[in-house]
Amino acid sequence: MKKIHLLLLMFFISTVLFAQEKINVVVIGAHPDDCDIDAGGTAIEFARAGHNVLFVSLTNGDAGHFSKGGGALAKIRRAEAQEAGKRFGVKYIVLDNHDGELMPTLDVRLNVIRLIRQWNADVVIGPRPNDYHPDHRNTATLIQDAAYMVIVPNIAPDTPPLKKNPVFLYTEDNFQKPYPFQPDIVVDITDAFDQKIYSMAAHESQFFEWLPWTSGKLDEVPKTEKERLKWLANWRKPRINDKERQALVKWYGEDRGNQIKYAEAFEICEYGSQPTDDEIRKLFPMLKK
């Protein structure tokens, strides 16, 4: 059961882990690898500082492959996610919904609400509702639909509500309509980049099989792990655009802000708590001038 290990963890070490200075972050993606791509570096920064990060994949990834599928593929994807979680230093939960068939139902929404509550989330991170993949768009809708409802006690009454609506953040995308992504918070992940790539690489069936296949470069995938990491790093290194550079300067100061090599950007969703800059600095302690 996906929620088990998480709960075990919570049971034993909640008094330790969720002590007052700890920040609890939930990253939600559609597929086992989406959280990694969109917020993996930031997750590493949180984890290194002792905060608690949960990755959730709303589908079990049982469709995205050219030669495997179904429950058989779901088991591979789940194992890869467990390994990735270890490398990132986060807890990784894979829900058992069909890949490519995620719909914004009340059932899935309630499970998202439960997970956010159980992690006692301060920050929830996920995609914007505009993206190329319907599962991504529906993931965004499901997260939006969980915002605010996480504090309503009669909704999912089996799980105690949060005291406060978390800050909800969107991860970066390149879509311009109906409006372009706005990098409100940008995190320096330069130091975390190698670990991010190494952690992502745990999703072998994604990064070395399925995604190269869809890009027509399956035959380019190197054979050795070392070369694979290099190849993946090259393929997946994020570029920093002007607005993001500006934000980096805002959050890290002129000097560091201009030198940062790799970053992950986030937009504040209007349906969660609206943090001030000071509150952002508390929630994202790595933002330091």
DSSP H stretches of helix in 49-133: 70-88, 106-118
Please count the other Cβ atoms lying within 10 Å of the Cβ belonging to residue 230.
13
Nearest CA to 54 among 25, 22, 12, 32? 25
Distance of CA 174 to the CA centre of its chain: 17
Nearest approach in angstroms of CB 154 to a second copy is 3
CB of 240 to a second copy, least distance (A): 21
Tokens 């991860």 sit on residue: 171
Q: Output the smallest distance, CB 254 to a second copy, in A.
A: 28
CB of 123 to a second copy, least distance (A): 17
Residue whose CB is less far from a second copy, 270 or 278? 270
Specify the residue, 157 or 239, whose C-beta has the smaller distance to a second copy: 157
Q: Which is nearer to a second copy, 192 or 269 (CB)?
A: 269
Helix (H) or strand (E) holding 188: strand 185-188
Least distance between a second copy and beta carbon 79 (Å): 11
> Could you give the residue ranges of the DSSP H alpha helices within 129-208?
134-146, 193-200, 204-205
Contact residues: a second copy, CB under 8 A: 1-4, 7-8, 11, 60, 62-75, 78, 94, 96, 98-101, 103, 106-107, 109-110, 114, 118, 130-134, 137, 144-145, 147-149, 151-159, 175-179, 214, 270-271
Measured from the CB atom, is 48 or 175 closer to a second copy?
Answer: 175
Residue 246 near residue 120 (C-beta atoms within 8 A): no
Helix pair 70-88, 34-48: axis angle to 10 deg: 20
> Beta partners for 188?
263
Closer CB to a second copy, 258 or 274, in the complex: 274
Q: Which is nearer to a second copy, 89 or 161 (CB)?
A: 161
Q: Which is nearer to a second copy, 107 or 255 (CB)?
A: 107
Structure letter (DSSP) for residue 223: S
Output the smallest distance, CB 271 to a second copy, in A. Answer: 5
What is the nearest approach in angstroms of a second copy to the Cβ of residue 63? Answer: 4
Q: For a second copy, which is the closer residue by CB, 11 or 223?
A: 11
Separation of alpha carbons 252 and 255, rounded Å: 8
Q: How far is the CB of 92 from a second copy (least distance, A)?
A: 13
Order of strands across the sheet that contains 24-29 = 91-97, 52-59, 24-29, 123-126, 167-171, 263-268, 185-188
Whether 51 contacts 25, CB under 8 Å: yes
Q: Distance between CA 243 and CA 247 in Å, rounded?
A: 6
The span from the CA of 215 to the CA of 64, in Å, is 13
